[in-house]
Amino acid sequence: MKLRKIITLTEDIHTEGGRPVDPIARTAVVLAVIENPWAGQGYVTDLLPGIDEIAPQLGELLAPRVVEALGAPVEAYGKAAIVGLDGEIEHGSALIHTLKFGDHFRKAANATTLLPAVEKRAVAGGAFDIPLKHITDATIRSHHQSIEVRVPDGPRADEIVIGLAAASQGRPQARLAPLASEQ
């Protein structure tokens, strides 16, 4: 894996809807900007060798960092793969849609649900939203949220931005009825 940089972001929401948020709602994001191992090769039929090599390294690198940055138990989580213009969306998907990547975060967060994801192709500096859902029950509406992020100088055409996001709670001031109330 050819890593260019790691970015760590946190957001603390103190007030929402004109009311204090107690406890403060924290979200953390960790992004790795890596060289796309398949860029410039044309259509690559077998992505597995790259997946086997890079996905576990990324999971091992990012999962503990995002949990540490959050500084609280993880209640919601998500992932992202943003591919530069010389790559395919499938290149990013290959790295994040494997247990070799996601299980690192599941274990670090004591989670059991699938990680929601965003995958897209974008120019450097393109904004993207990482979706988050509850770590053990994806039907808990209060934890359906997203965080917008961007890397000002990435992904370059031959790069992929891989990210993990975690939240310490659901949306600030969440008040939707549980899904069960409609079933």
Contacts of 101 (CB under 8 A, 6+ apart): 55, 56, 58, 59, 79, 95
Cβ atoms 34, 1 nearer than 8 A: yes
Q: What is the pTM of this model?
A: 0.95
* Structural domains in the chain plus CATH codes: 3-182 (3.30.1330.110)
Task: Say if residue 180's pLDDT is above 70.
Answer: no
The whole-number pLDDT of residue 43 equals 94
The whole-number pLDDT of residue 110 equals 97
The whole-number pLDDT of residue 59 equals 98
Determine the Cα–Cα distance for residues 82 and 122; give it in Å rounded to an integer: 6
Over residues 94-108, the mean pLDDT reads: 98
Task: Say if residue 79's pLDDT is above 80.
Answer: yes
Q: Which residue has the higher pLDDT, 11 or 40?
A: 11
DSSP states along 27-43 = EEEEEEEEE-TTTTS--
DSSP states along 91-133 = HHHHHHSSHHHHHHHHHHHT--SPPPEEEEE--TT--EEEEEE
Determine the Cα–Cα distance for residues 147 and 117; give it in Å rounded to an integer: 12
Q: Over the stretch 18-76, which tens digit does the pLDDT of each residue have?
A: 999 999 999 999 999 999 999 989 899 999 999 999 999 999 999 999 999 999 999 99
Q: Give the pLDDT band of residue 155 (cuts 50, 70, 90).
A: very high
The whole-number pLDDT of residue 182 equals 72
